[in-house]
Chain A
Amino acid sequence: MITEVDTVAYDALDKSGPMLVEFYSKTCGPCKMLAFVLKDVAKNDPDFPIYTIDYDANQELKERCGVKGFPTLLFMKDGVEVSRLEGLKQKPAILEEIAKLKG
């Protein structure tokens, strides 16, 4: 399930368990493509939580998360980052990270 969140909503999230956080920009071609990839990923596993965050509109949060560019994917478990992927990635690479996260 893909949910758009801002800083306030992100901070209020129940972060227990695995989840994927994507920082994107509306001015970024690779981010636009990644949105379709994530939709595809969500089809595979509709219950897996995916949160998307606008990089430009959430500057403090991206600093806090150590995100330096977009798109950036943070794979998290219980609120802690386990791994990250930077730049546009294909579905298999993302599924592999999710599998590791769950495994």
Chain B
Amino acid sequence: MSTNRVTHTLEEHLITRQNKAEKEFLAAFESEKPTLENAHVLVNPYLINPLCALILFKTDKPAAATLTIHGKRNDRENIVHAFPEGTSHALPVVGLYEGMVTRVTVELSTGESKTFEIQAQPLPEDVCRCRNINTSMDYFGNNFMFLTPAGKNLPTAYDYMGDIRWLLTVNTMFDIKRLKNGNIMTGSQRFCRMPYNATGLVELNLLGKIYKEYRMPGNYHHDHFEMPDGNILALTQDFSNGSTTVEDMIALLDRETGEVLRTWDYKTFLPQNVGGSGSQDAHDWFHNNALWYNPKNNTITISGRHQDAVVNFDYETSKLNWIIGDPEGWPEDMQKYFFKPVGDLSKFDWQYEQHACVVCPNGDIMCFDNGQYRSKVKEKYIRNRDNFSRGVRYRIDTDKMEIEQVWQYGKELGQTFFSPYICNVEYYDEGHYLIHSGGIGWKDGYASDALGAFLNPKKDPTTDICSKTVEQKDGVVMYYMEVDGNFYRAEKLSPYHDGVNAAFGDGKLLGHLDVTPTFDTIPDVPERNEVVDAWHQVNIEEDEDRFVFHGRFARGSLAMILLEGEKETRGYFINTAASYHLAMCSGAYLEDDDRVIKMNISKEGLSGKYAIKVLVEDAIYQTGVTIYC
């Protein structure tokens, strides 16, 4: 529905659309009962992964199916997966080649077989292509390297040759991890708050079917961790009670209901105005970008970019145990939590504005040391072009409070591997690591001073952004991939796992969003019986559980969204002041015109019919849009 001045879209949640699509194709499957010979082949059955398919057929007698996705060059590239015996077969095909026919063979234990030729559409022109890859089938096998976006790019996975074999057409973001049941979990694509808060987390299979969206009152950002009992630790913040800080809280989510079981607020055990990195401000004082639960000692380790600190605390009591980081600028009574460097100090460096802390099996701590500013003291800040980023591993002795740097990769590469934001490391085995420098940005041939999220090579040819992912084994680089664009994290995953690769059943929307805070005072200005001016480009995107208001407003103007119901009117203040972000770990929600704001209003707490109106400066205008809650 649209007027010439206001656009209103009402779209069902992706889970609802996927549920409908699944019901439809399963109904056709049960009704037609196709055999292998005339099997149903559905490309992109869940609407968001154009490089997958589902093959559905029935057999009279129980049979086990083996699926072979043929490589486009040779048989060594074939991806083969065996499925359990049954009479009703639903075989997911993960890893079609884009824009061409992929041959897929199904062989049954009964001896029957059929080869399908499945055509996938070309991908959008602006997908992030692999620029350079150097590895081998012997090393990388049939795994894919999954990259999660740090901007408007899309979650994408590449095979050993750099071909894109998996892609979601929705902008899920931040961390991506495989769960114990084989599904993956990543951040939802649904905007909630600037700069990059999503409604929550989604659990999905590699076809793109979302089983659960875990909505969080404080939203989700950066990272999550599956606990031994299956519950989820997720990074969040508290927007209620007038809290003015962000990215300083963990929520434990019930895996079944999505409800928040408990939270940890770092303000209870860390001072907020000390140890600041170059990007710190009072609002985003810690900037938590990673967490790791260690069942061996029941502790949580977190990474705080804006205090240059990796912090460990007790799961039960929140008691602070230790801090890895440059102790300069921290008060005397906090020094006991810091470590003293030992070993070869000529090779030792502290980490600065780090990401992605990892606890190794022996208790060593790894992280991606972005190195932004590389000092606590403003006068000593290092410019990006003179800086370096690296993966680093520290060995800590918590009795002696000593720390030794036992490995690093990246310092020797200088600015060519420098990422001032995002990135991660992975521990595979002793001496076998992934190092992902996903936030590389260039300006005039040097490492850019601005974050990659603010660079646009399409508009400014003096800039470039890219992402470099490395795997090192016993000191040898076994994998190197450079792709277009910045990517938050890299995670190597196989396209199939030992569990159920394509379970059916309705996806669920769990947990809840918060009640969007209102502004009590509604200015006493006249209401006009006219639609808000087209210059404001008002666009209202309505979803099942919220709507997102988009509009352009002159800097410094007075603006407010009004929901006029039968019993009440709610006002939501729109801040039209210029905002400058020191961190922008995902630029997915950034607008080209920074006068355009978007504001999420949850339907939580709303009931009935509301007319949406807009207050601009000295009058209230109509939008013509009514929502039902």
Residues on A close to B: CB < 8 A?
25-30, 32-33, 36-37, 40, 88, 90-93
Contact = CB atoms under 8 A, between A and B. Distances in A.
Given A40-B521, A90-B520, A92-B520, A33 B558 contact: yes
Contacts of A40: 521
Contact of A33 (B524, B555, B573): B573
A88 B575 CA distance: 10
Nearest to B571: A33
Contact of A37 (B521, B555, B556, B576): B521
A32 B558 contact: yes
B519 interface: yes
Interface of B: 242, 519-521, 523-524, 553, 555-560, 573-577, 617
Nearest to A38: B521
Contact of B519 (A28, A32, A33): A33
A3 to B, nearest CB: 20
A43 B339 CA distance: 58
Contacts of B524: 36
Nearest to A89: B242
Contacts of B521: 33, 36-37, 40, 90-91
Residue from A32, A33, A36, A88 with most neighbouring chain B CB atoms (10 Å): A33
B576 A93 contact: no
A27 B556 contact: yes
Given A88-B573, A93-B242, A29 B520 contact: no
A34 to B, nearest CB: 9
Contacts of B553: 29
Residue from B520, B557, B558 with most neighbouring chain A CB atoms (10 Å): B558
A25 B477 CA distance: 57
Nearest to B560: A33
Contacts of A33: 519, 521, 523, 558, 560, 573
Contacts of B576: 29
Nearest to A40: B521
Given A36-B524, A93-B242, A30 B575 contact: yes
A91 to B, nearest CB: 6
A27 B558 CA distance: 10
A90 B558 contact: no
A36 B573 CA distance: 12
B558 to A, nearest CB: 4
Contacts of A27: 555-556
Given A88-B573, A93-B242, A29 B556 contact: yes
Contacts of A29: 553, 555-559, 574-577
Contacts of B556: 25-29, 32
B520 A30 contact: no
A93 B244 CA distance: 14
Contacts of A91: 520-521
10 contacts: A26-B556, A29-B555, A29-B556, A29-B574, A32-B617, A33-B521, A33-B523, A36-B523, A88-B575, A90-B521
A90 B560 CA distance: 14
A72 to B, nearest CB: 14
Residue from B242, B520, B556, B617 with most neighbouring chain A CB atoms (10 Å): B556
